[in-house]
Amino acid sequence: MYDKNWAYVDPNTVPQIKVCPPGPRSREIHSRAARYMKGYSSQVQLFPVVFQSGRGCTLTDVDGNVYIDFSSGIYVTGLGHCHPKVTEAVQKAAGELMNCHDFTTPIKMRLLEKLASISMGEGRKKLNGMQLYDSGTTAVEAGLRVMRAATGKFEFISFHRDFHGKTMGAVALARLDASQGLRAPGFYLVPRAYCYRCEFHQTYPECDLLCAEYIRTVIKEETSGRVAGIVLEPVQGWAGSIVPPDGWIQKIRAICDELGILLMADEVLTCMARTGKMFAMEHWNTVPDVMTLGKGFGNGFPVTAMLVSEEHKEAIEKISASTSYGGNPMACAAALASIEVIEEENLCERSAHLGKLLLGRMKEMESRYTIIGETRGLGCLLGIELVKDKATKEPFEQAGRLVYQKAFRKGLAWIPAGHILRMSPPLIMEDDLALKAMDIIEESIYEAEKELGYA
């Protein structure tokens, strides 16, 4: 049994900034890699530090600087870096068998049974049809094909600002830019319940969730009426930790049931206690027909899953669902160990506690700083939206970049998204360390306001 205090770090000892980051070794190594690697994320482009190692809730770069990790590898390492149980499980699996295509292995059998024991639904709605993959976008693509196979229909509806991956079908579910050409046929987008920036200029709850009702108009006026599925993120990640109002997801479920449409919840980002529940859909007591898992599923090891209800799971047989790497023994070992850690360490409860603690602090900041338009989140999935004016809500991307870089230089590794600052601390983080991270963010916002002429 591993030491439960393996990840503890004295908040008085971190961050440790020895040289102003990105330091000379980071700059040299990154510049060499960048000769060949293209398409870096905005995280890296704005702050090209080179990390050497990680332990628990901290990261160390090649120049010896130690950072508080407020990103979890962009929602991935919720159990902390190099959790002893997960590390041991992967090492053991790698020493026994690395891959055997989609043949059953004992560790795969144990993972499937564990997933079935914790998955949502009952009876015919139980999510107990499964396939394993190595990336979130692959799981999403499989979900789309399953819904087509199960219904005999071929169109899909998704939502503004949702993100589902980077392959053709997944990209068609989200925003496009000119470089990507036309959206794939049969994909339609509708407004999302984003109350801070309602596209219908309504106010919740007086709006009676008009945005959900508008789906009926799109089906009638834009589709051929052969909609296989509605796809959603329960809580938006890339768009800035946007939590829908109560009733929105339930209403979409009701529309799907009424019209014979399947509902797919893309929980690649929100699963495994990230929002304070094992699966985010539990917050609304709503069971989808298809659900995808990823990111925190293997605590950093590339493993994802597609889950399908008992009612429709035989459709998986129709789509040539297996992959070369999906469900390999190392991946299954990482996923099984991660689920066990979440249960053993009560990390759903821990995530919910941290979320309340940090969101309370963020709401205080929102009331004090001119450039903070809205703070929001659920569990350890949090966001701060920066604006030029609280009345007009004009996005303030310059401030977003500035605050992100200032905090990173002070030793906070986290996530930018234009004018939105995203936070996803490891679920195991101690209160004192989490609040120290918020101190760094607040100090950076204060400095940015002064520099931008707002204070």
Question: Three-state DSSP class for 127?
Answer: strand
pLDDT confidence of residue 243 = 98
Asked if 180 and 171 touch (Cβ cutoff 8 Å), the reply is yes
Q: Is pLDDT above 90 for 313? A: yes
φ/ψ (deg, to 5) at 65: -75, 140
Reference 334, options 98, 166, 116; nearest CA is 98
DSSP code for 298: T
Residues 21-35: pLDDT tens digits? 999 999 999 999 999
Q: Is pLDDT above 80 for 178? A: no
Q: Is pLDDT above 80 for 82? A: yes
pLDDT confidence bin for 234, thresholds 50/70/90: very high
CA distance 265 to 233: 6
Residues 386-423: pLDDT tens digits? 999 999 999 999 999 999 999 999 999 999 989 999 99
pLDDT confidence of residue 180 = 75
Judge residue 208's burial from the number of C-beta atoms within 10 Å of its C-beta, 0-12 exposed, 13-18 middle, 19 or more buried: exposed
Q: What is the CA radius of gyration of the chain?
A: 22
pLDDT confidence of residue 3 = 86
Asked if 215 and 189 touch (Cβ cutoff 8 Å), the reply is no
Q: Is pLDDT above 80 for 179? A: no
Q: Is pLDDT above 90 for 176? A: no
pLDDT confidence bin for 177, thresholds 50/70/90: confident
CA distance 186 to 36: 36
Asked if 412 and 440 touch (Cβ cutoff 8 Å), the reply is yes
Residue found under tokens 């049974």:
113
CA distance 144 to 184: 13
Query: What does pLDDT average to over the chain?
Result: 97
pTM, two decimals, is: 0.96
pLDDT confidence of residue 39 = 94
Asked if 139 and 271 touch (Cβ cutoff 8 Å), the reply is no
Residues 370-387: pLDDT tens digits? 999 999 999 999 999 999
pLDDT average, residue stretch 311-332 = 96
Residues 252-294: pLDDT tens digits? 999 999 999 999 999 999 999 999 999 999 999 999 999 999 9
Q: Which domains does the chain possess?
A: 24-77+352-451 (3.90.1150.10), 87-344 (3.40.640.10)
Q: Is pLDDT above 80 for 181? A: no
